[in-house]
Amino acid sequence: MFRSKKKVEKKGLKIIIVGCGKVGSTLVEQLSKEGHEITIIDRNSSRLQNLTNLYDVMAVEGNGASFSVQLEAGIEDADLFIAVTSADELNLLCCIVAKRVGNCSAIARVRTPDYNKEANYLREQLGLAMIINPDYEAAKQISDILCLPDALEVNAFAHGQVELVKFKIGEKHVLNGITTSEIVNKIGSGLLICALEREGEIYIPRGDFLLKSDDIIYFVVTRKNSKDFFDKINIKTNRVKNTLIIGGGRSAYYLSLSLLRMGVNVEIIENNKERCEELSILLPKAIIINADGTDEGVLREEGIERAESVIPLTGIDEENILLSLYTRQVSDAKIITKINRINFKDVISKMDLGSIIYPRYIVAEEIIAYVRAKSNSKSNSIETMYNLFDQQVEAIEFIIDTKSAVTDIPLKDLKIKMDVLVSFINRSGNIIIPNGNDSIQVGDTVMVVTKQSGFHSIVDILE
């Protein structure tokens, strides 16, 4: 049995992660930055060795569902157990054993559609803190973007009442050449720019920050008023009418289900004949084509030049990237590119790939939000969290359930850290885009955007 010889001084929670694939390694990377004591379990010794060389973690080689292996990993005094192997049943079994042996919270990755339908039942019956499905979450994010085709990314806060939208300012766009303080006069209140990227530099803009062409911005807008604001800033609000999906895996299935419910015409090109037969039964209203989706002749024959949206969802990142670049040359379609690995991020970010989805980061964000809330003894737990601009900015929605140093004081009187912006206050369903006279109150949820990392509580915004 492989076991790393590193010793870790405990700082935060004691976390055991089973499975060191793409999702597991991302969790190790992110959670180790948060200062937690991490032990990893995997059958593959080379994976364990690679991660112990990169991060200050312990490692145990073996079957994560084994009682003795979990004891070796320290399950008896673990705070959190996360199973993210490639097998759903193994993940669930790992969590069952962990719950019986230790007194910890447990999270399982479950991807199979049959189990996904029963996720709430499984979570309740097995006593799990969370069941995560990266394919389903990626499909949900893609679906949201297709409802707002001009956006690069769309994230929901306040139970869907607020949208955080990523958008690139064009040369002739209404936002080009105006300051952030002029937005209220020219467009109206209710829209706030939270973060901005210009020539590789990230800003949290305030006051008289001048917006320019090619700036990539994140802004918050209430869903109630979103159509009015989108019309004023020339963002199309009409969802796409049809989509061409290349690859028929789980993400394609979940995405197709969502789009078909919205009345979007779906065509899937899948190379595996047996999978095509399965999809034709599962998705009777979709058009399923048994062909090589990486073949230029096939793509032209299936009308890629006329498609309103093209989504490469093959299992190979390089194929997805090439398909997106090819689509950009022959079509004006909305393009969304799914990338599983994170290698060469700087190169990828410079390519014209449309919207980019990283399923492993979607999963990591959910788990990190849970971990921060669990490790925070001051209450004020985290409702929602997203990473922006390749992990350089965090958008965090806090639940304000106790009085603290930030409550009942006008924002202008608080000593808030640099590069921190209070973006909205949700007060009993009433969304407030705050100014200096507004204050945070008990019972609110509050979204904060920051270039700093590791915020566990709303009081972390203070100097």
196-to-51, 148, 177, 190, 205 alpha-carbon distances in Å: 33, 19, 14, 18, 7
pTM: 0.84
Helix (H) or strand (E) holding 134: helix 134-146
Q: Check whether 433 has a pLDDT greater than 80.
A: yes
Residue ranges of E strands in 400-437: 420-427, 430-432
Pairing of the two strands 445-450 and 393-399: antiparallel
Sketch the domain layout of the chain as residue ranges: 14-132, 139-232, 242-357, 367-461
Return the minimum-mean-pLDDT range out of 111-125, 345-359, 403-417.
345-359
Give domain 139-232's CATH number out of 3.40.50.300, 3.90.1150.180, 1.20.1050.10, 3.30.70.1450: 3.30.70.1450
Q: Check whether 312 has a pLDDT greater than 60.
A: yes
What would the pLDDT profile of 33-80 be if each residue is shown by its tens digit? 888 999 999 999 999 999 999 999 999 999 999 999 999 999 999 999
Answer with the residue of higher pLDDT: 308 or 148.
308
Q: Check whether 344 has a pLDDT greater than 90.
A: no
Q: Check whether 8 has a pLDDT greater than 50.
A: no
Q: Which CATH code for domain 14-132?
A: 3.40.50.720
367-461 folds as Alpha-Beta Plaits (3.30.70)
Q: Check whether 4 has a pLDDT greater than 60.
A: no
Q: Check whether 354 has a pLDDT greater than 90.
A: no
Do residues 208 and 227 make contact, with C-beta atoms less than 8 angstroms apart?
no
Do residues 197 and 389 make contact, with C-beta atoms less than 8 angstroms apart?
yes
Helix (H) or strand (E) holding 368: helix 359-375
Q: Which of 250, 251, 290, 284 lies closest to 268, judged by CA? A: 290
Do residues 212 and 176 make contact, with C-beta atoms less than 8 angstroms apart?
yes
Helix (H) or strand (E) holding 32: helix 22-33
Average pLDDT of the chain to the nearest whole number:
90
Token pair 């379609």 is found at 333
What would the pLDDT profile of 165-216 be if each residue is shown by its tens digit? 999 998 888 889 999 888 878 777 778 899 999 988 999 998 789 999 999 9
Residue 223: CB atoms within 10 Å: 14
Per-residue pLDDT, averaged over 265-270, amounts to 98
Q: Check whether 376 has a pLDDT greater than 80.
A: no
**Calpha distance 82→20 (Å, rounded):** 11
What would the pLDDT profile of 404-417 be if each residue is shown by its tens digit? 999 999 999 999 99
- Which three-class secondary structure state does DSSP give residue 219? strand
Range 401-414 burial, b when 16+ CB lie within 10 A, else e: eeebebbeeebeeb
Query: What pLDDT band is residue 11 in, cutting at 50, 70 and 90?
Result: low
Do residues 268 and 248 make contact, with C-beta atoms less than 8 angstroms apart?
yes
Query: What pLDDT band is residue 6 in, cutting at 50, 70 and 90?
Result: very low
pLDDT of residue 10: 45
Per-residue pLDDT, averaged over 252-280, amounts to 96
Per-residue pLDDT, averaged over 90-117, amounts to 93
Equal fold, 14-132 vs 242-357: yes
| In this structure, CATH architecture of domain 242-357 | 3-Layer(aba) Sandwich (3.40)
